[in-house]
Structure 1
């Protein structure tokens, strides 16, 4: 079925915004979409018809009850339409998943890092598993997005300091990803970005950050601490993509040595290895660090004294770091990634109290602190990255050779 082009230029320009509204769940019906776009009902019908022809959305043939009793056609993501491949590299492995519009990950898979874990070997392994997964699925794949645990300088897409991957500073990760993808026969757009930035974007669109005007996201997965800021729906990346490196905020001048060369950075005072150290445990290199940290959290919940003290120690350090960032940014919501969400659950009153005591804005009016809602925010964010060209201009992205 060929797309039925909308005659007004305004209709063509509205395809991307309309798809974004359906993608984030902000337009469940055509009447809501019409009001959000500020177009006529006829134009809205043409826009949804075009997106339907591109197999991006479905439109119910029979209108459902709408506002003030007026029936309206329901809109949804087409489950048989295009997908993207989301990939994430972390300190002790990598993950991949196919993703539909709407922020849905389809069967995430986890793999160990290859040996040696050089940039070339790791990216080759990621692309190989991505190619296998894409080939096994009948749906059209229209992009590949990769989340990496390192600042990524833009527009060059260079890994500035991949400390937890032991990659050389200045690794051209974007260029290498394109080369490996081309070598594997994946002829589709690819992109790479910092994992915390992408997780923040996913949480803002589909999770605990929905509706926030200034969302601060703080996270730790396996090692290190990352952060990001979403302002009015857009990532604040700074002049070169390197903004919001909250992990380098000092929370204990006499604390643990950080790979950056300083002491007491949030990066090493509020991550899973920090919790293990506070609990007197040596990390087991054969097991995921996050799993080991969760064992300490379970012991704390069971009343084990040393584990409880370790949780409180790391929670205090996390609170100091969040308070320092709040003083600078004045967000209206803070969302915490997986490990920090567990700390919040283990010591909710302690974390909010530390933030309020050390933050000017916290004392003036408490900033809500919420746990991330998505199971795999970084991986979901990688999917958001891959969907970017389609959300910007669906017709060009899906019909250009």
Structure 2
């Protein structure tokens, strides 16, 4: 029986999970692939560090060259993170005929198209299911299950840290600052949480999903990203009164041959499935022209969930090796990238305004909407003893982004509007 030799780069949370699954599921994996999968070498920073995993210490190395340039390695599994250094190592592995499995969303969002092209050129596979939504098989669904359909829209919760924070704020009425500290203490958020809370992590994932779903090279720079640092418990409480939960959503939409991709806090109707996705869980909602609506739900991170996706990719590589089709099944972005202009991006919006509490104010505000052809679904004034000014909540009907931006500019120029407290998209 053929032995497939693995070089594992990284032995942190995910890398440890990969080793554990390969050890615990050895017989099943052998039967599925017809090959024995064997770890030959593991790249670590410290070879002397104690580890709670069954792994021969002689396999450990601190030199990446022992993996990417070695003749006795067939597949490189990269779970160490980083971008530029890691990109160079993966390029070397591909150019030397090694297949690659990676969980690196940053790398694939920035350089995915280039690496896929190199892999195809050298007859190699590069798979990256674990780079988006942990254990949810969303990438395989987009490249295989939806290959006969045309995807019109994808949106969902793709960052577990921010979903944990917003869930806690909603269920416990806690402030953003307090919940962030708790998330850091639990290990859900990094000491520097910028990538998560500013929406950058979610934006990278949405760039990957949009590239695969729309078959065009969508880059990180094409994603309009806004995080949750401005979200207050008052925003969440007002939303709950009106039947909404506040979630950080990634949204990718296609209109004809042009697309838009964004990450933003959004009010999700409580009747929508995404509203009940809580804690560190992820969910991606996909709408295809033929299949209609589907939702993928599961753990978005963690050692074994993410490692499950990594090993599933590894199984796919090994099966391709046995069939001799490596490098021929890679999904490519063959369509020209066309981004939608603001006048073609439509949605409903939630606005919370602090205004002067006097006659005629509401008429001036609604006139600004009417002048820009933005119709209103509801206008509410909510009492707030902590705010001496009037608080007005407005929910619009579907309108284009261009008109909405014009309204916001007009409101900002009005003397009677003290502050545009919040603007959120409304979903569901």
* TM-score, normalisation: structure 1: 0.32
Bigger Rg, structure 1 or 2: 2
Which protein is richer in strand relative to its size?
2
Task: Calculate the TM-score normalised by the size of structure 2.
Answer: 0.30
